[in-house]
Chain A
Amino acid sequence: MKDETAVPLAVEPALVPARRRRRVRPGRAVSPYLLLLPALAVIVAVLGYPLYRLVALSFQEYGLAELIAREGRWIGLDNYETILGDRRFWTVLGRTVAFTAVTVGLTMVLGTLIALLLARLGTFMRLLITTGLVLVWSMPPVVSVNIWSWMVDYEFGVLNWGLAELGLDYFARHDWFVNPIEGFAVITAIVVWGAIPFVAITIFAGLTQVSGEMVEAASIDGAGAFRIFRDITLPILKPIFVILASLSVIWNFQVFSQIWIIRNARPEEHYFLLSIYSFVESFNASRYGLGSAIALVMVLAMLCVTFVYIRQMVRIGEID
C-alpha cells in the first residue's frame, strides 16, 4: 500500500529552487471555488434539493392528483399525526431498529473475529481467506439475494437439505418465509454475509498497526489473550470501530433491495422495514406525502449516526 501512495521524489532537494513567495493574483482566490462548483452543483441538485423537497412533501397531501397537477396541498403536521398515531409505524420502527442492531452487531463481532484469526495465520492461509473475502465482497447485492433465495428454496434449497441431513427434519421442504422470524434470519444472513468482508479486511489492516512489542510486553507481564485484546488492541482500534459501526448502521438501517427482491416485490406487512414502508406508502398507495414523512424520520435517525461519524473523522484529523 505504502509504495503506491508515497510519491518518489524525483528531484534532488538541492535542485529545488528557493521557494519564492508568489504574488497572490486575484484569479487564484477564485479558482478553488470554480473547481468545486461542478461537483457541488450536482450534489445540491441530486441530494440537496430533493432533501428540501422531502421536508416540504412531508407537510403536504400529495397523491396521484397532485402528481399530475405538480402541486401539493399544504396540510401542516397531519402526515406526522397520522404516522405517529399509527401502531403500525411504531412496530415497523422497532423492527427496523432491532434488525439494524442485530445485523450490525453480528457483522462487527464476526468481522473482528475473522480479522483476529487472519492475524494469527500463515501467509498462505491468510491469502486464501482474503481472496475469499474479496470474492464475497464483490458480489452485487441483487446477485447475492438471488443466490440465497436459491439456497433456501422450498424444495431444492441446499441449505434445507443440509439442515435436514443434520437431523433437523423440520427444514426438509421448508418455506422460510412463512414465519417472519425465520425469514428475517435469512435476510440477516444475506446482509451480514455481504458486509463482513469490508469490516474484516479493514480491522485486519488496523491490527497490523498494533505494535508487536506492546503485545509482547503485556504477555510477559502475564496478560491473557482477552486482556491484551481489551486493553491494548481495542483502544488502538477504537477510531476504526466507531467508523465501521456508524457506516454499518447507516447501510443496514436502509436495507431495501434484499427484502424487496426476496419477497418478489410484494413484501408482506410483517416484512416491512422503514425503507419498505415508506416506499410502499409512496409508490404503491400513491400517498407521497405520508411516505415522505416516514422517510424523514429515517433521515433524522441517520443524522445522529452521521454526527458520530463526522466527529470521529474530525478527531483523527481526517477533516482538517
Chain B
Amino acid sequence: MSALAQTAQPRRRRRLRRVVRRFWLNLLGLVLFAVMVFPVYWMVATAFKRGNDVLSFTPQFVPRHPTLANFRDAIDRELFWSSVRNSLIVVGAVVLASVVLAFLAALALAKFRFYGRRAFVVIIFSVQMVPLAALIIPLYITLSSVGQVDRLSGVVIAYVALVLPFCVWTLRGFLAGVPKELEEAAMVDGSTRFGAFVRILLPLVGPGLVATSIFAFIQAWNEYIIAYVLLSSASKQTVTIWLANFTTGTTRGVDWATLMAGATLTALPVVVFFVLVHRRIAFGLTAGAVKQ
C-alpha cells in the first residue's frame, strides 16, 4: 500500500511535467507559425486595404474596409495582360518541351545499361550547379549573335535546359520503379513495345509527369534574371518583370497596395500548384538522400 503510493506520486509528477512541456512546445510552435507566415499574411492583408488604411502610421492588422480596388488597379496597370500572356506562352512551351525531353532521357537512364551512362548522370547533376548569374553574359552574347534576343523562344530554350536535370532525375525514379516483369507480361499478351508503354508505363509514371510539369511551370513562372536581360522590349516582358517594375521602374513613391495585390496575383498560381507537389520536389532535389 505504502509502496504503491510512493510510485504513484512521481508518476503523477512526471505526467504533469509532460503536460507542461507539451504546452511550451505547442506555444513555441504557434509563435513560429505566426512569425513565419506573417509576411505572406501581410501581403494579402495589404492587398485588401483601402489606400488610406495602408498608409497609416499605426498598422491595421485586419483590413477594416476590405476592398477589391487594388486588384482592379493591378490588373488595369499597363502591360498586365500582355505579361500574363507572355508568361503563359513561355510556361506552356517549357513544360511541354521539358517533359518530353526529360521523359526520353529518363527512359534511357532507367531501362538501359550503356556506356557513358554514369558520365551523363554526373553531367546533369553538375549542370544544376552552374550559377545562372554567370551564364547570363555569354547567353546574351550568343543569343544576340543569332538574333534570338528579345524573343520568347530564346527564353524558352534557356528555361528548358535549367529544369531538365530535375525533371530527368525525378522521372528516372518513377520509371525505375516499374518492374520489368510487368512490361514483359504485357508484351507476352501480344502488345508491342509501344503498346506496353502506353498501357502499362504511362499510368504508372503519371504522377511523376505531373510533378515534373509543375516543377517546370513554377521555375519558368518565377524566373527573373534571364527574362530581365533577354526580353528588353516592354511588350515581351513576363509577369516577374512586370511585378519588379513596380519598384525598379519608378523613381516616385511605390504604390504598395496595388503592388501587394499584384504580388498576390503573381504568387497565387504557384501556391496552388506547389501545394500539390512540394513533397516530390523536396525529395527530387535531395535525390535519394532521404529514402521515401
B-binding residues in A (CB < 8 A):
1-2, 4-7, 9-11, 13, 15-17, 19, 28-29, 31-33, 35-36, 38-40, 42-43, 45-47, 49-51, 53-54, 57, 62, 67, 70, 114, 117, 120-122, 125, 128-129, 132-144, 146-151, 153, 155-156, 158, 161, 193, 196, 198, 201-202, 205-206, 209, 239-240, 243-244, 247, 250, 253-254, 256-257, 260-262, 264-265, 274-275, 278-279, 282-283, 288, 291-292, 295-296, 298-299, 302-303, 305-306, 309-310, 312-313, 316-320
B88 near A: Cβ within 8 Å?
Answer: no
Question: Shortest distance in angstroms between B264's beta carbon and chain A's nearest beta carbon?
Answer: 8
* B102: chain A residues within 8 A (beta carbon): 39
* B100: chain A residues within 8 A (beta carbon): 38
Q: Mark B224-249, 1 if CB is under 8 A from A, else 0.
A: 11001100000000001001101110
- Can you list 7 A-B pairs, Cβ within 8 angstroms, ordered by A? A47-B127, A54-B138, A136-B36, A140-B270, A147-B263, A148-B39, A205-B282
Q: Mark B127-161, 1 if CB is under 8 A from A, else 0.
A: 10111111111111110110000000000011011
* A7: chain B residues within 8 A (beta carbon): 177-179, 182, 204
- Which of A19, A49, A257 is the most central at the interface, judged by chain B CB atoms within 10 Å of its CB? A257
* A50: chain B residues within 8 A (beta carbon): 135, 138-139, 142
Nearest 8 pairs of A and B residues by beta carbon: A46-B161, A275-B133, A295-B134, A53-B138, A138-B274, A35-B108, A32-B112, A50-B138
Q: Which range holds the interface residue count of chain B? A: 35 or more
Question: Shortest distance in angstroms between A287's beta carbon and chain B's nearest beta carbon?
Answer: 10
Q: How far is the CA of A139 from the CA of B225 in the complex (A)?
A: 17
Q: Is the CB of A265 within 8 A of B248?
A: yes
Q: Is the CB of B130 within 8 A of A302?
A: yes
Q: Is the CB of A6 within 8 A of B177?
A: yes
Partner of B137, one of A10, A295, A317: A295
Q: How far is the CA of A142 from the CA of B242 in the complex (A)?
A: 10
Partner of A136, one of B37, B177, B222: B37
Q: Is the CB of B55 within 8 A of A156?
A: yes
Q: How far is the CA of A206 from the CA of B246 in the complex (A)?
A: 41
Q: Is the CB of B39 within 8 A of A43?
A: no
A29-B114, A254-B132 are known contacts. Are A264 and B247 too (CB-CB below 8 A)?
yes
Question: Shortest distance in angstroms between A303's beta carbon and chain B's nearest beta carbon?
Answer: 8
- Find the A residue at minimum CB distance from B278: A134
Q: Mark B83-112, 1 if CB is under 8 A from A, else 0.
A: 000000000000001001110110111011
Q: Is the CB of B135 within 8 A of A51?
A: yes
Partner of B108, one of A36, A51, A129: A36
* B59: chain A residues within 8 A (beta carbon): 156, 158, 161
Question: Shortest distance in angstroms between B170's beta carbon and chain A's nearest beta carbon?
Answer: 10
Q: Is the CB of B164 within 8 A of A244?
A: no
* B105: chain A residues within 8 A (beta carbon): 35-36, 38-40
Question: Shortest distance in angstroms between B93's beta carbon and chain A's nearest beta carbon?
Answer: 13
A46-B157, A117-B29 are known contacts. Are A38 and B104 too (CB-CB below 8 A)?
yes
A5-B177, A120-B25, A158-B42 are known contacts. Are A143 and B243 too (CB-CB below 8 A)?
yes
Partner of A43, one of B127, B263, B266: B127
A-binding residues in B (CB < 8 A):
22, 25-26, 28-30, 32-33, 36-37, 39-40, 42-43, 46, 54-59, 97, 100-102, 104-105, 107-109, 111-112, 114, 117-118, 120-127, 129-142, 144-145, 157-158, 160-162, 164-165, 168, 173-174, 177-179, 181-182, 184-185, 188, 204, 207, 218, 221-222, 224-225, 228-229, 240, 243-244, 246-248, 254, 256, 259-260, 263, 266-267, 270-271, 274-275, 278-279, 282-283, 285-292
Q: Is the CB of B247 within 8 A of A299?
A: no
Q: Is the interface of B mostly helix, strand, loop or mixed?
A: helix
* B229: chain A residues within 8 A (beta carbon): 283
Q: How far is the CA of A198 from the CA of B240 in the complex (A)?
A: 22
Q: Is the CB of B132 within 8 A of A40?
A: no
Q: How far is the CA of A19 from the CA of B243 in the complex (A)?
A: 59
* A62: chain B residues within 8 A (beta carbon): 141
* B29: chain A residues within 8 A (beta carbon): 117, 121, 125, 128-129
Q: Is the CB of A138 within 8 A of B271?
A: yes
Extra contacts, 20 of them, besides A121-B25, A202-B286 (Cβ < 8 A), are: A11-B182, A32-B108, A39-B168, A122-B22, A129-B33, A129-B36, A135-B271, A143-B43, A143-B263, A146-B243, A146-B246, A147-B42, A156-B256, A193-B36, A205-B283, A243-B286, A260-B248, A278-B133, A278-B137, A316-B289
A156-B54, A292-B138 are known contacts. Are A42 and B289 too (CB-CB below 8 A)?
no
* B244: chain A residues within 8 A (beta carbon): 142, 146, 257, 261, 265
Q: How far is the CA of A48 from the CA of B107 in the complex (A)?
A: 23
A47-B130, A54-B135 are known contacts. Are A142 and B243 too (CB-CB below 8 A)?
yes
Partner of A117, one of B28, B55, B182: B28
Q: How far is the CA of A70 from the CA of B140 in the complex (A)?
A: 12
